[in-house]
């Protein structure tokens, strides 16, 4: 058994300063506006967040606010192991780049992994469209 997982790193360029992108994406309440994988709503519950997904509520932990563009988060489904989702926003000229790494967990078929990659790419495209359409992201 391998100690590492197959991974796919996806990215999207956004015509916004990376600080603006970070300020928007680092707010958990903004995730439902673009990240359909975390469902249509998210609410704070103590020191955790609960996302309403199609598979029921899941706990989500977000990395602490930082000066480095780190947007990692952890999804904790009731019926499984914690899922680590590394994500960064980096400067790309006057704009930015969002970088998202998707790990292929044990038992995920080739087809499901391809579908998961397509889903993440759609969500990143939605984030790009949302942020580039706004005068000032909030």
What CATH number does the domain containing 23 carry?
3.30.530.20
133: its two tokens: 């359409």
For residue 1, pLDDT beyond 60: no
Domain residues for the domain of 129 are 7-133
**What does the pLDDT read at residue 47?**
79
pTM of the model: 0.90
CA distance 87 to 116: 15
For residue 43, what pLDDT band results from cuts at 50, 70 and 90? Answer: very high
For residue 52, what pLDDT band results from cuts at 50, 70 and 90? Answer: confident
Q: Is residue 2 part of a domain?
A: no
Query: Distances from the Cα of 8 to the Cαs of 4, 11, 56, 104, 112, in angstroms?
Result: 13, 10, 26, 8, 13
Q: Considering its fold, how many domains does the chain have in total?
A: 1
Q: Is residue 138 part of a domain?
A: no
């Amino acid at each position: 058994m391998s100690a590492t997982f197959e991974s796919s790193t996806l990215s999207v360029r956004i015509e916004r300063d990376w600080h603006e992108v970070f300020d928007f994406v680092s707010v958990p309440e903004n995730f439902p506006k673009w990240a359909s994988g975390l469902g249509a709503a998210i609410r704070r519950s103590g020191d955790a967040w609960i996302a309403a997904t199609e598979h029921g509520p899941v706990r989500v932990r977000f990395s602490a606010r930082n000066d480095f563009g780190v947007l990692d988060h952890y999804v904790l489904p009731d019926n499984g192991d914690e899922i680590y989702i590394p994500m960064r926003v980096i400067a790309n000229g006057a704009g930015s780049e969002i970088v998202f790494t998707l790990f292929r967990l044990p038992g995920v078929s080739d087809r499901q992994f391809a579908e998961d990659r397509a889903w993440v790419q759609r969500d990143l495209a939605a984030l790009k469209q949302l942020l580039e359409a706004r005068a000032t992201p909030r």
